[in-house]
């Protein structure tokens, strides 16, 4: 969830410790000491934008009574996640060949991409469901993230072609529009998929809003940034929104071992609610 490092403006260890505690409180993210350079480089943009000369002054701004908008800007900068279509494709194969293949015809189907970033996972899921259930069936995909910045990109649904490097060509032809002239080198997700999709801001480290209940929840490649206590809290809240018999899918490098005993392991990274 934290990306490439930038040049480091002057930040003291004490200042960095304050921001470590703050981002953990706001988003549940545990920043290691090795991320000091990254945090300073990222937040230097906001110091400059606000005409602030020190990280201590900036901390006062984001924690003050009028700092809500600025604290969101800070979270946006520190929680960006680069992703692409059909990332860890085995999960989508399992969804299609096992979960959807057994789903009763005519019954609705709902998926939550709980840390969707810029939306590639959401629209990948939409392609899979369109292929298996059809565009006119009753299915929905909810994409959520703590960052308003990435959600705006997800709602625009326009991506550079390199993000589609793992996407079947026939899916691109069926469900996407190729950019021309000033949009050359990009593609737009078609309206037939987008009408099944909704995006909303959700902080997984807080009480969940009314997102609904789901047959499948994807929470991939985000728990690696949480400490054990935060993992247990986040997963516990999400399990409450998973229907009986529903599947919970995490990243290939992640596991729920020691996090919850409310789910059964189906295969590595794939769990099921009894």
Residue 141 has pLDDT above 60, yes or no: yes
Residue 227 annotated as catalytic: no
pLDDT at 81: 67
Q: How many domains does the chain have?
A: 2
Collect all residues with Cβ–Cβ distance below 8 Å to 271 and sequence separation of at least 6. 247, 248, 249, 250, 256, 263, 264, 265
Assigned domain for 52 exists = yes
Assigned domain for 20 exists = yes
Residues 109 and 60 in one domain: no
Residues 186 and 155 in one domain: yes
Angle 205-226-202 from CA coordinates, rounded to 5°: 30
Q: Which of 42, 87, 163, 241 is catalytic?
A: 42
Residue 98 has pLDDT above 60, yes or no: yes
Q: Place 137 in a pLDDT band, splitting at 50, 70 and 90.
A: very high
The residue with tokens 């629209």 is 123
Alpha carbon distance 11, 36 (integer Å): 8
Assigned domain for 173 exists = yes
Residues 127 and 70 in one domain: no
Task: Please compute Rg for the chain using Cα positions.
Answer: 20
Q: Which of 76, 110, 145, 215 is catalytic?
A: 145
Residue 189 maps to which CATH number?
Answer: 3.40.50.150
Alpha carbon distance 199, 29 (integer Å): 22
Assigned domain for 85 exists = no
Residues 154 and 199 in one domain: yes
Full-model pTM = 0.85
Residues 263 and 157 in one domain: yes
186 lies in which domain range? 90-272
Residues 207 and 128 in one domain: yes
User: Phi-psi bin for 119: left (phi > 0), alpha (psi -120 to 50), beta?
Assistant: left
Residues 171-190 pLDDT 10s = 999 999 998 898 899 999 99
Q: Place 9 in a pLDDT band, splitting at 50, 70 and 90.
A: low
Assigned domain for 109 exists = yes
Residue 5 has pLDDT above 60, yes or no: no
Residues 58 and 98 in one domain: no
Residue 183 annotated as catalytic: no
Nearest to 215 by CA among 110, 85, 66, 81: 110
Assigned domain for 58 exists = yes
Residues 130 and 177 in one domain: yes
Residues 197-235 pLDDT 10s = 999 999 999 999 999 999 999 999 999 889 999 999 999
Residue 3 has pLDDT above 90, yes or no: no
């Amino acid at each position: 969830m934290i990306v490439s490092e930038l040049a480091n403006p002057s930040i003291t260890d004490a200042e960095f410790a304050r921001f470590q505690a703050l981002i953990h409180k706001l988003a549940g993210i545990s920043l290691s000491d090795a991320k000091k350079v990254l945090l300073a480089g990222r937040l230097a943009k906001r110091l400059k934008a606000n005409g602030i000369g020190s990280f201590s002054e900036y901390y006062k701004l984001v924690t003050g009574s009028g700092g809500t908008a600025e604290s969101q800007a800070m979270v946006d900068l520190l929680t960006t996640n680069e992703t692409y279509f059909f990332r860890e494709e085995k999960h989508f194969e399992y969804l299609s060949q096992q979960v959807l293949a057994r789903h009763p015809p005519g019954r609705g189907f709902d998926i939550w991409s709980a840390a969707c970033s810029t939306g590639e996972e959401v629209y990948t899921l939409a392609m899979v469901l369109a292929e298996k259930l059809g565009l006119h069936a009753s299915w929905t995909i909810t994409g959520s993230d703590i960052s308003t910045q990435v959600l705006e990109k997800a709602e625009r649904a326009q991506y550079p072609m390199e993000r589609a490097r793992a996407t079947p060509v026939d899916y691109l032809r069926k469900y996407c529009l190729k950019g021309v002239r000033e949009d050359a080198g990009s593609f737009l997700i078609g309206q037939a998929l987008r009408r099944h999709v909704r995006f909303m801001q959700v902080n997984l480290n807080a009480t969940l809003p009314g997102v609904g209940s789901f047959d499948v929840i994807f929470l991939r490649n985000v728990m690696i940034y949480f400490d054990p206590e935060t993992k247990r809290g986040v997963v516990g809240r999400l399990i409450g929104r998973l229907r009986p018999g529903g599947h919970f899918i995490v990243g290939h490098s992640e596991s729920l071992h020691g996090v919850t005993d409310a789910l059964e392991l189906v295969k590595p990274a794939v769990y099921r609610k009894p």
